[in-house]
Amino acid sequence: MRADQIAPERIPSLDGLRTVSFLIVFIAHSNFYIPFVSGIPGGFGVTVFFYLSGFLITTLLRTELESTGTISVRNFYMRRALRILPPFYLVLLLATMLTLLQVLPGRLNPGALLAQSLHFSNYWFIWWGTAGAPAGTVPYWSLAVEEHFYLAFPLLYIALNQWQSRRAQASTLWALCAVVLTWRCILVLGFGAIDDRTYMGSDTRVDSILFGCALALAMNPVLDPQWGSDRLWKWVLFPAGLALLMVTFLYRAPWFRETLRYSLQGIALTPVFVSAIRFPRWAPFRILNARSVAFVGVLSYTLYLVHEIVVIAPYYWLPSVRSTPIAILAFAISFAVAVIVHRLVEMPSARLRKRLTRGAPVARLSPALR
């Protein structure tokens, strides 16, 4: 399948990549052992989510700009708010109530809860720690990073379009990735910053999103003419990307984990994403496009919100039970909750988004571009 034959509203493999990202996080948080997969750090799943968000959001903005000649910042913010906030606040309220009722362990700190509600929990956790947050909601720090990106990036993209060609815009984003890497190195090597400072900070993790943005601008496998032969991507670039990812998993020096690792993973994910989108019927990616796998990807946002809450509860009440049964039970419950939230909250929100942005090209894009 050639890239210029893929309609932008149907991007192969991306929901499957969402599924893989969630499963990496879930396996790490549930202590569920799977050979090879369990050796992948759970934080890498978040990195893939970041990269995917950058690619999709920039593809969406490009589609709107090339179709209409302009970008509606109002519509962008409205779509993001209706996509993200209803499930976010619903699950946060649920976790808060379960913690207050002591169904989940811990005590609430109003400051931590306020930080999560206002989407700066990542910096709260860096400065004051995670104590006081509703049980199971610490992963929400990554949503704060994405919210900060969503606030700033449309304005940056509009500004770049005033002065630069698309390739120059991609170069600017790669330069920003280098700036973020330099900043991480200064914090870690110069000031001895703790791991959480570089792992959770928006200023130190936004490059994982910007690498995806740069791909969407420089050689978007959905919107741009095909670059490079199939053989080059399948047998050289894709294996090279996997090899580089393996290096980042196996080399565990603390200074490396919190500085170069995120940058190298952003570089390595580029050929992985391009190959997954260009060759959805190729054996390594065929499973990503299976209906059941893609459906888990559609639910991945709510699954991400609820999974640790569901994992913590049985560990709290059944401390003697081994991790494997708990992980299986937690996945089943998380999936059921995600289906309910999808039908009762996400789908009505999606219909409202379409009504409020009717007439805009982006309103016709599928869930893969939300």
Lowest mean pLDDT among 27-36, 234-243, 282-291: 27-36
Q: What is the pLDDT of residues 108-152, one digit of tens each?
A: 999 999 999 999 999 999 999 999 999 999 999 999 999 999 999
Lowest mean pLDDT among 293-297, 308-312, 345-349, 364-368: 364-368
Structural domain count, the chain: 1
Q: What is the pLDDT of residues 187-212, one digit of tens each?
A: 999 999 999 999 999 999 999 999 99
Residue 370: the pLDDT is 42
Mean pLDDT, residues 268-286:
96
Residues spanned by the domain of 358: 3-99+106-369
Residue 364: the pLDDT is 39
Q: Say what the pTM is.
A: 0.92
- Report the percent of the chain where pLDDT is more than 70: 92
Residue 322: the pLDDT is 76
3-state secondary structure the chain: CCHHHCCCCCCCCHHHHHHHHHHHHHHHHHCCCCCCHHHCCHHHHHHHHHHHHHHHHHHHHHHHHHHHCCCCHHHHHHHHHHHHHHHHHHHHHHHHHHHHCCCCCCCCCHHHHHHHHCCCHHHHHHHHCCCCCCCCCHHHHHHHHHHHHHHHHHHHHHHHHHHCCHHHHHHHHHHHHHHHHHHHHHHHHHHCCCHHHHHHCHHHHHHHHHHHHHHHHHCCCCCCCCCCCHHHHHHHHHHHHHHHHHHHHHCCCHHHHCCHHHHHHHHHHHHHHHHHHHCCCCHHHHHHHCHHHHHHHHCHHHHHHHHHHHHHHHHHHCCCCCHHHHHHHHHHHHHHHHHHHHHHHHHHHHHHHHHHCCCCHHHHCCHHHC
For residue 321, name the pLDDT band (cuts at 50, 70, 90): confident
